[in-house]
Structures are given as structure tokens and as C-alpha cells.
Amino acid sequence: MRLMKLAFKRERAIPILALLFASGVGVALVIARILWTGNIKYGFLIWNLFLAWLPLGFALLACDEYHGGARRNWRFLGFAGTWLLFFPNAPYIFTDLIHLTNQFYHHFWIDLVLILLFAVIGLVVGFVSLFLMQAVVRRMLGRVASWAFIAAVAGLSGFGIYLGRFLRFNSWDILFKPFALCEGIGQWLAHPLTRSHSVAFPFLFATFLFVSYLILYALTHLDHAQLSVTARENEQPVNC
């Protein structure tokens, strides 16, 4: 109930409802594909989309703790840390395009659109949570620090997605496979250039996340800018 109240506050209700509607459409399309083909192959998209929603829940809880005055207590830090841990799951869905690379087949274009739909929804859900966390950092440390925070999150997420796609680790492996996870990260740090994609992929995906967020962030200010221009035009006297 607490999450529901936080999610559907006046200032958040419209984007949350839009994302819920989009997620419902995506899930319905996957179910339709399963019924049509008799193959549950792409059922994993539903699970991945669920994981993409988790960071938003933790971001809402972290923001609520911050605004409640608990800026640096263990609950705020715990929610913020868990948000960061699960955030890469939101853009991770883009890497599911790998399932289309084996060969061209009859349902290729349908599956391409389906994966892209889930990837875009997951990315935007993740960016909503990132926007909330950036607002907290901006209030704590200032505007410049908030954009440094975005760059840092993009970099860490690019590396996290690399760990998930290529080394096959999950977010919860920090609890269930901590030694294997540390070993994998240690091997990457010791030999980062052993494979051509081991550095290029995290860097390029981090760049993709930062640029995509910057574009969407700018679009959120478009309406305000247009309204300001319209207001100034209306204030100008009319010469007859």
C-alpha cells in the first residue's frame, strides 16, 4: 500500500499510469504470441520487465525516506543502494535482441518489435527512477553533482549489464554468489583487454544510457519552455 500511495501521487500518477498501460499491452502481446505459436520462448520478457520495475519501487521508497527527514539513515541508504543494484535490469532488456541473431525465421519481425517494445518500456521505467534519484542528489549536493551522479550510474550500469549478459551474473548474486561475482570482476580488472568487447561494450552502453537520459530529460522541459514562450507572446501589446 505504501508503494501504491507513493507511485500515484499527483505529480507521478500520469507517467506511472502510462507505463503500467504500456506494460500491460506488452504482457498481453507476449501471451498472445505464446497462444498463437504454442511456444513459451519469449515468456522471459515478462520476468525481465518485472525486474525493470523494481528500481522504480526502491527509488520511490528512497525518496520518501529522504523527504521524511531520514536523509542518511540506514533505510534511506539501503533503498538507494538496492535501487543502484537493480537499476541495470531496466536497460538490460535491450540485450535480449541477441535472441534474434541466430537466424532469420518466420516470426523474426514480430519478435523484433516485441523485444524493442519491452526494451523501451524498461528503459523509460528505469529513467523515471533515475530522475527521482537525481532530484534527491540535486537537493543534497547541487545540480553539477547530480549530473556527475547520472554519469556515474550510467558507467556502473554499463558494466553491470556486461556482467549480466557476458558473465551471466544477476543482481541478487551479490548475496547468493558473492565470491564468484568478486572473482569475475577481479578477472575483468586483471585482464580487461582480453576480449574486444570487454571494455567497448560497457563504455558504449554507458554512453547510450547517458545520451538517452539526457534527451528524455530535455524533452520533459519542452512543454515548460513552450508555455513560457506562449505566455510572453500573449503579453506583447497588439499594434492596430
Q: Is 154 exposed, middle or buried (0-12, 13-18, 19+ CB in 10 A)?
A: buried
Q: How confident is the model at residue 139 (pLDDT cuts 50, 70, 90)?
A: very high
Instruction: Encode pLDDT of 78-107 as tens digits.
Output: 999 999 999 999 999 999 999 887 666 778
89 vs 48: CA distance, rounded Å: 7
* Number of C-beta neighbours around residue 215 at 10 A: 9
Query: 151 near 210, Cβ under 8 Å?
Result: yes
The domain ranges of the chain are 15-218
139 versus 239: which is more confidently predicted?
139
What's the rounded mean pLDDT across residues 110-122? 95
- Nearby residues of 93 by Cβ (< 8 Å), 6 or more positions away: 45, 48, 49, 52, 115, 118, 119, 122, 123
